[in-house]
Amino acid sequence: MTETADPNPPVANHFIRQIILTDRAAGKHGGRVATRFPPEPNGYLHLGHAKAICLDFGLAREFGGTTALRFDDTNPAKEDLEYVEAIKNDVQWLGFEWDALRHTSDYFQVLYLCAEKLIRDGKAFVCDLSAEEVRAYRGTLTEPGRNSPYRERSVEENLDLFRRMRAGEFADGERTLRARIDMASGNINMRDPAIYRIRKLTHQNTGDAWPIYPMYDYAHCVSDAVEGITHSFCTLEFEDHRPLYDWFLDQLDLPGDASLTEPLRRDGLWLPPSKPQQIEFARGNLDYTVMSKRKLMALVEGGLVDGWDDPRMPTLAGARRRGFTPAAIRTFWERAGVTKQNSVIGFGVLEGCVREDLDARAPRRMAVLDPLKLVLSNLDPAHEETLEFANHPKNAEFGTRELPFSRDVWIEREDFAEVPPKGFHRLVPGGEVRLRGVGIVRCEDVVKNNAGDVVELRGTLDADTRPGRPGADRKVKGTIHWVSARHAVAAEVRLYDRLFSVADPDDDSDGKTYADHLNPDSKRVVRAWIEPAAAATEPERHVQFERIGYFVADRHDHARSAPVFNRTATLRDSWAAGK
């Protein structure tokens, strides 16, 4: 189930939007706006990525521009086609469509030609230092680095060695191609960074054609330029990389050198190259969550969760299966805003957006998760009738449904108290409560088993309080929900909560890791009873189980004959005051 984003969403003004407005007013890029979303296909997207997706696609849409979905497939050791398909599904599920689908590997020949140009211009050299030696030569934040002993190789020798790297002559890690910039730079990223490394791995798109692969900082800016990107949005950790981004583009001058992009003309991928601008913003952080792909993968591979789409995971696949809606996620990031200030947003804020969305769109149904039987002994044992209930109390357009009622009903165990606490307004021995849509019932008797546990209640229904009867307006303090025991359908209900029990699971100052903070109550599975109309819910459709919360029919496991519902959110934030 996918949902199209509002083509005219409320305008969220922020500094990046102001940059675009200024650029357009000045005629920069001819007024064009072209953005890209460039995920690495080495895992599933998470809620933080949704912020970038909304920004990339949303701004381009606002200004009549384009957005490319580009897979940064430069590290075949970690990439998988499963992740490629998952990313495409997630972007579409959020309500967006790309104008072009690209891979960095589409530009491998262009990247190679650009590297040869850097060598010819004396801006790159082949280095024989090992990775450990490179680190030793790099220097520190307070000490300059040292030049590689291979830095002064001739252009001819560098071209020869680089072409031999390309031909697969050398072993993995034996040589790298490095930019020749400034080992004394105060920005460590400018200290002769690697451009290419030798990795003899099969690539998902290019097979064994390339034994060398470009590094991200190099491939990213070149890919942006050949795609005609105007504004390249990155998170704040790339701010120190921007001088390198601009240096590569200045040296290569892709808009001015048609020979570098000739392979794209041949492959039908050519666009007028641009000189894009990198703009950084603060990533999206949520409490009670980890966003590191490495940690998320460890949770999956360690069996600590039920896969990438476990509803407790912050992945978009997990959020979808839990029942978070695209509209709620978009609204959440619109309200969070776009700034350069790192901050952590409460997970409860996201849940609030979900509740707000589902309150308007989710039909109401009745379900009992912890059943206790109530027998209305003044009705005939064969009593059976059909009642009409509104599907939504605030929207008549949702229509009505028929709900069966019989002598024996299931109620929530927590709606009865033999010794009621102060302020308890539900069912007690000798007390009365309104049975939702039926009338007022009185508890006459409490049945227990040999262990002293309450196993059944017996009571009576006041017929004068039935809807339409003279006593229907008689007041009692409590109203409870129910389902007919004779007609109820057994269902598996999965009660999901936050995966971690602390707000900052990444904080290891106490010697514990994020895995030590897993919430043991993050998933509970109960056998519930639901009304027949709830069982008929289609997979991925939402309902509000009255007085309980918002639920979604599981997209994979739910069937009418064997219903499975996942709790999306409780009716109120149970964590707000500390759980």
Tell me the CATH number at 482.
2.40.240.10
Q: Name the DSSP letter for residue 494.
A: E
In a domain, 4, yes or no: no
Quick one: 453 and 516 in the same domain?
no
Distance CA 238, CA 233 (A): 10
Nearest to 432 by CA among 416, 414, 409: 416
Is 7 part of any domain? no
Catalytic site residue from 24, 28, 40, 458: 40
Task: Kindly report the average pLDDT of the chain as a whole number.
Answer: 96
Strands (E), 356-438: 364-365, 367-368, 371-376, 384-390, 400-406, 408-412, 432-435
For residue 495, what is the enclosing H or E element? strand 489-496
- Going by C-alpha positions, the residue among 277, 276, 275, 243 that lies closest to residue 256 is 275
CA 36 from chain centre, in angstroms, equals 18
The answer on 57 and 109 residing in a single domain is yes
Q: Is there a domain that residue 9 lies in?
A: no
**Tokens representing 346?**
């409460």
Length of the chain (residues): 579
Do the annotations mark residue 46 as ligand-binding? yes
Annotated binding-site residue? 50: yes
396: buried, middle or exposed (CB in 10 Å: 19+, 13-18, 0-12)? exposed
Domain of residue 163, CATH code = 3.40.50.620
Residue 20 lies in a domain: yes
pLDDT at res. 579: 47
Q: Of these residues, 178, 197, 242, 293, which one is catalytic? A: 293
* 114/66 same-domain check: yes
Q: State the residue range of the domain holding 576.
A: 287-361+491-542+549-579
524 in the same domain as 445: no
Asked if residues 329 and 50 have their Cβ atoms less than 8 Å apart, the reply is yes
Q: Is the pLDDT of residue 344 over 80?
A: yes
Is 328 found in the same domain as 268? no
Is 40 one of the catalytic residues? Answer: yes
- pLDDT band of residue 469 (cuts 50, 70, 90) is very high
Q: Fill in the amino acid letter for 253.
A: D
CA distance 531 to 403: 7
- Catalytic status, residue 78: no
**Residue 9 pLDDT > 90:** no
> What CATH number does the domain containing 538 carry?
1.10.1160.10
**Other beta carbons less than 10 A from residue 542's beta carbon:** 19
Q: Is 52 annotated as a binding residue?
A: yes
Look at residues 441, 450, 451, 452 and name the one whose alpha carbon lies nearest to residue 419: 452
- The predicted model gives 422-448 an average pLDDT of 96
Instruction: Tell me which residue of 116, 211, 224 sits closest to 162, measured CA to CA.
Output: 116
C-alpha span between 341 and 515 (Å, rounded): 28
Domain endpoint, select from 285, 308, 324 = 285
Q: Is 283 in the active site?
A: yes
What average pLDDT does this structure show over 174-198? 98
Checking if the pLDDT of 465 tops 50, the result is yes
**Which one of the listed residues 17, 123, 163, 283 is annotated catalytic?**
283
53 and 187 inside one domain: yes
The verdict on 168 and 226 lying in the same domain is yes
> Of the residues 285, 320, 336, which one is the last residue of a structural domain?
285
* Residue of 47, 98, 5, 56 lying closest to 327 (CA atoms): 5
Q: Which of 260, 231, 241 is nearest to 60 (CA)?
A: 231
> Considering its fold, how many domains does the chain have in total?
3
The answer to the question of residue 8 being in a domain is no
**Position 505 in a domain:** yes
40 known member of a binding site: yes
Q: Are residues 457 and 499 in the same domain?
A: no
Tokens, residue 415: 């709606």
Q: Residues of the chain with pLDDT > 90: what percent?
A: 96
Same domain, 91 and 181: yes
Residue 575, pLDDT score: 67
Nearest to 59 by CA among 26, 15, 92, 91: 15
51 has binding-site annotation = yes
Q: Are residues 345 and 373 in the same domain?
A: no
State the CB neighbour count (10 A cutoff) for residue 520. 7
Among the ranges given (4-13, 88-97, 222-231, 398-407), the one the predictor scored with the smallest mean pLDDT: 4-13
How far, CA to CA in Å, does 278 sit from each of 104, 221, 275?
17, 9, 10
Distance CA 226, CA 269 (A): 9
49 is in an annotated binding site: yes
Q: Of 566 and 12, which is predicted with more confidence?
A: 566
Judge whether residue 4 has pLDDT over 60: yes
Q: Is 544 helix (H, G, I), strand (E, B) or coil?
A: strand
30-74 pLDDT, tens digit each: 999 999 999 999 999 999 999 999 999 999 999 999 999 999 999
323 is in an annotated binding site: no
Q: Is the pTM of this model over 0.85?
A: yes
Is 293 marked as binding a ligand? yes
**Mean pLDDT score, 369-393:** 97
- Known binding residue 139? Answer is no
Q: How confident is the model at residue 430 (pLDDT cuts 50, 70, 90)?
A: very high
Verify that 171 and 53 share a domain, yes or no: yes
Q: Is residue 438 part of a domain?
A: yes
Is 235 one of the annotated binding-site residues?
Answer: yes
Closest CA to 88 of 105, 108, 68: 68
In a shared domain, residues 462 and 530? no
DSSP secondary structure of 299-321: HHHTTSSSSTT-TTSSBHHHHHH
Residue 13, pLDDT score: 86
Provide the pLDDT for residue 12. Answer: 74
